[in-house]
């Protein structure tokens, strides 16, 4: 259940960060691989947006020039274990330094606040840009979840642990 009240980091470069609200998702233009995920898991935008509110303990929306840039957050799977995620726009590379700074901040914040001993992230297999990104953040590849998203996509799981 979403508990976000305020954003502990409200700005990173040109990115303004606010607590996630259902209406934000409808304004997000997603990257091409996320359109594929939406099709495969058979969720409408409204259903996907509502799932974020039900599953995430904290979620935030980043804006650039008033446009929704990315939505990301944390799902606590059980005490000490969390999964981070981001749904982003195609403009992320244009603001990569500010984006990386914000992601690093929130990763550290989540680990400390929730006393996480393990943080994991899933990415669509063969999406090299995301693979390189999570590896630069210190995540280690653990394996491939074959036919995971609705039975049509493979996801790779990465994790950081103590």
The answer on pLDDT for 37 being more than 70 is no
Q: Residue 162 domain-assigned?
A: no
**Max CA-CA distance within the chain?**
39
Q: Residue 127 domain-assigned?
A: no
Number of domains in the chain: 1
pLDDT for position 53? 74
Question: Which pLDDT tens digit goes with each residue over 68-123?
Answer: 999 999 999 999 999 999 988 888 889 999 999 999 999 999 999 999 999 999 99
The answer on pLDDT for 46 being more than 80 is no
Number of H helices, E strands in the chain: 5, 8
| Degrees to nearest 5, angle at CA 76 with 73 and 81 | 115
Distance, CA of 103 to CA of 109 (rounded, Å): 10
Give the CATH number of the domain where residue 43 resides: 3.40.630.30
Domain hosting 19: range is: 11-121
pLDDT for position 45? 67
Question: Which pLDDT tens digit goes with each residue over 132-152?
Answer: 999 999 999 999 999 886 667
Q: Residue 75 domain-assigned?
A: yes
The overall pTM is greater than 0.85: yes
Is-contact 59 19, C-beta < 8 A? yes
């Amino acid at each position: 259940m979403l508990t976000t009240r305020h954003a502990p980091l409200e700005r990173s470069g040109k990115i303004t960060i606010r607590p996630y609200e259902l209406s934000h998702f409808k304004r997000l233009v997603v990257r091409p691989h996320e359109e594929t995920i939406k099709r495969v898991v058979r969720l409408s935008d409204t259903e996907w947006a509502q799932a974020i509110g039900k599953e995430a303990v904290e979620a935030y929306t980043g804006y650039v020039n008033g446009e929704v840039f990315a939505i990301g957050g944390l799902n606590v799977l059980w005490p000490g274990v969390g999964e981070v995620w981001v749904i982003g726009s195609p403009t992320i590379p244009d603001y990569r330094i500010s984006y990386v700074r914000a992601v690093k901040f929130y990763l550290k914040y989540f680990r400390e606040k929730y006393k996480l001993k393990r943080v994991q992230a899933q990415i669509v297999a063969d999406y090299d840009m995301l693979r390189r990104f999570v590896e630069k953040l210190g995540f280690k590849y653990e394996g491939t979840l074959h036919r995971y998203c609705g039975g049509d996509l493979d996801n790779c799981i990465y994790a950081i642990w103590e």
